[in-house]
Amino acid sequence: MSDGIDLNDLKKRMDGAITSLTKDLGGLRTGRASAALLDPVMVDAYGQKMPLNQVSNINAPEPKLITVQIWDKSMVGPVEKAVREAGLGLNPVVDGQNLRIPLPDLNEERRKELVKVAKGYAEDAKVAIRHVRRDAMETLKKAEKDKEIGQDEARGSSDKVQKMTDDMVTEVDKVLGTKEAEIMQV
């Protein structure tokens, strides 16, 4: 605990947001089917939101097709609805207890949609980073108010936290820019 907050812990938490962003962006396809494409899909299952991979097996047997084998027959409808409403532009076809999800060709319009999805993921990461900053700032204010640290220490630490936040937001923008270029490449 240096200057009222642990900067290493803050960095680790902010790095977690970037790791999550990288994982989410990895699921956005750029030309080939991938089971990871459905990782962000959450299903209303058994009274709570669950990741799709906890109620089914997901495979990509062909370059333009993803199959979802749903374990519980009663979950077919909710899984289909979750995939449709995930904002990925996918249109699943129900085949008994399986979903067949043909991937549309990547035309210019589809590429722009994927970029919008990627920007949404990036914004979520930035929000997570800002939440970490907010928590750190509140901790500093409380420590200053409780006279655990002085005003100069609090100001110095808050400057460090803000610099770390700015660096992480820049990193998010860099990761997004790379993915955007990959998606728009024909």
Interval 57-90: pLDDT, tens: 898 888 788 899 989 888 889 999 898 888 777 8
Reported as a single tens digit per residue, the pLDDT across 8-64 is: 889 999 999 999 888 888 777 666 677 778 888 889 888 889 988 888 989 888 878
Q: Is the pTM of this model over 0.85?
A: no
Q: pLDDT tens across 132-151, in order?
A: 999 999 998 888 888 888 88
Residue type at 29?
A: R
Residue whose C-alpha is closest to residue 3's, from 177, 165, 141? 141
Matching CATH number, 32-102, of 3.40.50.2300, 3.30.1360.40, 1.10.3720.10, 3.40.50.720: 3.30.1360.40
Question: What does the chain come to in residues?
Answer: 186
What does the DSSP assignment read for the chain? -BTTB-HHHHHHHHHHHHHHHHHHHHTS-SSS--GGGGTT-EEEETTEEEEGGGTEEEEEEETTEEEEEESSGGGHHHHHHHHHTTSS----EEETTEEEEEPPP--HHHHHHHHHHHHHHHHHHHHHHHHHHHHHHHHHHHHHHTTSS-HHHHHHHHHHHHHHHHHHHHHHHHHHHHHHHHHH--
What one-letter code names the amino acid at 144? Answer: E
* Residues 7-24+107-184, CATH architecture: Orthogonal Bundle (1.10)
| For range 116-136, the mean pLDDT | 93
Domain residue spans of the chain: 7-24+107-184, 32-102
